[in-house]
Amino acid sequence: MKDEVRAGVLVVIVAAVALLACQRPAVNDVAAPTRTMRRVTDDLGRTIIVPVKITRVVSTAPSITEMVFAAGGGGRLVGVTTFCNYPEEAKSIAKIGDTMTPNMETIVALKPDVVFVSTASQLETFTRTLEQSGIAAYVTNPTSLDGVFESMQNLAELLGADDRTMNFVVTLSGRESFVRHALLLPRNGDAVTVVPVFVQISKEPLFTIGKESFLNQVIEAAGGRSVTDDVATAFPKLSKETASTLRPEAIILSDSPDNQEPNEVFRNSPAVKNGRVYKINADILSRPGPRLVDALEQIAKVLHPEKF
């Protein structure tokens, strides 16, 4: 009889424990906290959905990396390209490959809230892969100096920058305005005469800037005019026959080891004959980011030294 009672009590205890276990939610069933999202518009006019508070971002171009740091978001960068070498902190961030062939597996593994993409040509591949992982692709692709300022303001707002960061954008714009104003002042002579300029991106093959390049406005703001501003695309390759007809009065070299002197086609140009060949650091000249204002100031000073 005692054994039957003991067995009955044991059955009741086991049943009670089982009932409690059924009522207690499993750890894996606890719903993860939801993140508040918002809709934003990128440089291509695309509407994308991102968290209200963005904490992890990936950059696919050196210009974007520089803009993110300038916008106060450098601490949120978890991945950058192998070409991202400025500012110094960018060198220690995890690398996702280069701009043209990023490693998508690496990007997804970094779990970013947003991947900043620099060109529309990257967009299809990025969008298809990233959307499957719930990651937004935001295109920032300024095509002028004004566009750089606008993109930086957009990034600052997107990342929740403080007033100090927004003031930095205003400072950059002010530096551009100073250059334009200085070129108009009748100091040491009248207002400047516009200088026909050839920008040599590479010597062989001969690449330059075309009508879609952001550098056209930089050259114009510096008191020059690109002699290839009517050539199709942003960075066209020129034949020597075409280049020989240009006759620039100044040549700007994108300073790199294989681009230290003008292409031989310019040996009889006014620029070479008058010694008006200038080198500008390739990084600040080729990246549509905050240091583009540095390039503007340097170009203005070599084209019109009497004004500065």
Domain 37-141: state its class: alpha beta
Residues 200, 254 contacting (CB under 8 angstroms): yes
Q: At what angle do helices 145-158 and 292-303 cross, to 10 degrees?
A: 160
Is residue 151 predicted with pLDDT exceeding 80? Answer: yes
String of DSSP letters for 89-111? GGGGSPB-B-SSSB-HHHHHHT-
Is residue 23 predicted with pLDDT exceeding 80? Answer: no
String of DSSP letters for 171-220? HHHHHHHHHHHHHHS-TTSSSPPPEEEEEESBTTTTB---TT-THHHHHH
pLDDT of residue 78: 97
pTM: 0.83
Q: Which two tokens stand for residue 269?
A: 């140009």
DSSP 8-state secondary structure symbol assigned to residue 35: P
Q: Which CATH superfamily is domain 181-307 in?
A: Nitrogenase molybdenum iron protein domain (3.40.50.1980)
pLDDT digits (tens, 9 = 90+) for 216-267: 999 999 999 999 999 999 999 999 999 999 999 999 999 999 999 999 999 9
String of DSSP letters for 62-73? HHHHHHHHHTT-
pLDDT of residue 99: 83
Query: Which pLDDT band, with edges at 50, 70 and 90, does 286 fall under?
Result: very high
> Mean of the per-residue pLDDT values for the chain?
86
- 98, 100, 214: which is closest to 151 by C-alpha? 214
pLDDT of residue 81: 95
- 308, 289, 252, 225: which is closest to 86 by C-alpha? 289
Domain boundaries, the chain: 37-141, 181-307
pLDDT of residue 102: 87
- CA dihedral angle for residue 173, residue 174, residue 175, residue 176, rounded to 10 degrees: 50
The mean pLDDT value for 7-35 works out to 46
Q: What's the sign of the alpha-carbon dihedral 285, 191, 210, 207? A: negative
pLDDT digits (tens, 9 = 90+) for 115-137: 999 876 666 767 777 878 889 99
pLDDT digits (tens, 9 = 90+) for 53-76: 999 999 999 999 999 999 889 999
Question: Percent of the chain, pLDDT > 90?
Answer: 62
Residues sharing a CB contact under 8 Å with residue 54, sequence separation 6 or more, in sequence order: 73, 76, 113, 114, 158, 159, 160
Phi, psi for 286 (deg, rounded to 5): -100, -10
Query: Which pLDDT band, with edges at 50, 70 and 90, does 33 fall under?
Result: low
pLDDT digits (tens, 9 = 90+) for 162-218: 677 778 888 999 999 999 999 986 555 566 789 999 999 999 999 999 999 999 999
- 179, 166, 165, 186: which is closest to 217 by C-alpha? 179
